[in-house]
């Protein structure tokens, strides 16, 4: 479920936590600092977001899932 399909830009850790809550996926601690995985109803669409090697320090998050859903969840972010 967690291969990168895009980048969410312009958000920091607190912005992500405000929308998704605390990180809920334990990932490779040498490469991933924070990670979330979830499904969006009604279709149970899988989504994931994670900080790859400190990219969140630059406001860049790796994402998996439908870019239109990401844009709805984070309307102030840029999806690349």
pLDDT score of 2: 62
Q: Is residue 1 part of a domain?
A: no
Q: Is residue 21 part of a domain?
A: yes
65 exposure class (CB count in 10 Å sphere: 0-12, 13-18, 19+) = buried
Q: How many domains does the chain have?
A: 1
Q: Is residue 75 part of a domain?
A: yes
Q: Is residue 27 part of a domain?
A: yes
Range of the structural domain that residue 32 is part of: 6-79
Q: Is residue 57 part of a domain?
A: yes
Strand partners, 61: 8
pLDDT score of 10: 97
Q: Is residue 18 part of a domain?
A: yes
Binned average pLDDT, 10 residues per bin, the chain of 80 residues: 87 97 92 95 94 96 96 96
Give SS3 for 27: coil
Q: Is residue 15 part of a domain?
A: yes
């Amino acid at each position: 479920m967690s291969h990168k399909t895009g980048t969410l830009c312009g958000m920091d850790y607190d912005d992500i936590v405000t929308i998704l809550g605390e990180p809920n996926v334990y990932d490779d601690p040498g490469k991933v600092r924070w990670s979330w995985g979830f499904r969006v109803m009604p279709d149970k669409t899988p989504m994931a977001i994670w900080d790859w090697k400190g990219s969140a320090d630059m406001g860049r998050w790796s994402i998996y899932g439908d870019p239109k859903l990401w844009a709805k969840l984070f309307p102030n972010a840029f999806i690349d």
